[in-house]
Structure 1
Amino acid sequence: MIYFITSIIVLTFIFIYNRYFPVRGIRCSNMPELELGKIDVVDLRDYNESYKDPIPGAMNIPIAYLNRYYMEIQHKNIHVIASDKRQRNFGIRVLKQKGFQVTGCTIAR
């Protein structure tokens, strides 16, 4: 019984950590001037949000489709655009697990 409760607590902590704790070493800032030849801008917002406020040169892959379409990202250096902190944290962790180097992020307002 104690092992079951401990495993539930550990799984809950991992879930909360992945969603709500920021990733270390990633600076969030306003949209900087990026060299699009050396870095890919990945927009993790939903299609409805990114359609209303498009970012030139950004590749739109919503967070729900990231595991399926991450192969379309060509460069290893990425700047992430997200709609909120939870989406930013989760997206950066998924991209890092896939082997990408996330250089920065922007939370779109």
Structure 2
Amino acid sequence: MKFLILITIIVSIILYKRYFPVLGVHFIKLKDLEVDKIIIIDIRDYNESYKDPIKGSINIPISYLNRNIKEIPDGDLYIVASSSLEKNVGIRFFRQKGFRVVGYFISDNSKISLKENSLKIKNNCC
């Protein structure tokens, strides 16, 4: 019985850290940012950030954050992620390291993928 309770607690903590939204951090559109005062951290994968680059951002994929944390200057952070799961994990990571995250943006690369696929279809047909 104690083992079952322990497993339930561990699974609950893992699910909370990944899927439960981070409180106090709000969605802010990129165009509404004051870029002079905020450091933009792009935690998307290199393949995604290459297709849709964000000017003035520091691109460190989420899997490389721990080893590249020293590259991030002190200041308020703004997170660019590709999914809400990535956003939650990234914000919690930065808070644990002592950074202040003021906002986030979740990019929608499905539009880019659809655009590329439609171009390929047009090129193949003609």
**TM-score, structure 2 length as denominator?**
0.81
Q: Which residue of 2 aligns with 1:15?
A: 14
Which structure's relative contact order is higher, taking Cα pairs within 8 Å and 6+ residues apart?
A: 1
Q: How does 1:64-75 map to 2 (within 5 A)?
A: 64-75=63-74
Q: How does 1:1-109 map to 2 (within 5 A)?
A: 2-109=1-108
- Uncovered stretches (5+) of structure 1, i.e. residues with no partner: none
Change (3 A) 1:36 1:29: closer
SS at match of 2:54: coil
Distance of 2:35 and 2:29 partners within structure 1: 16
Displacement, 1:75? 2.2
Identity %: 46
Distance of 2:96 and 2:75 partners within structure 1: 12
Higher helix share: 2
Larger Rg: 2
SS at match of 2:105: strand
Distance of 1:93 and 1:32 partners within structure 2: 24
**TM-score, structure 1 length as denominator?**
0.93
Aligned 8 A contact 1:38 1:75 in 2:
no
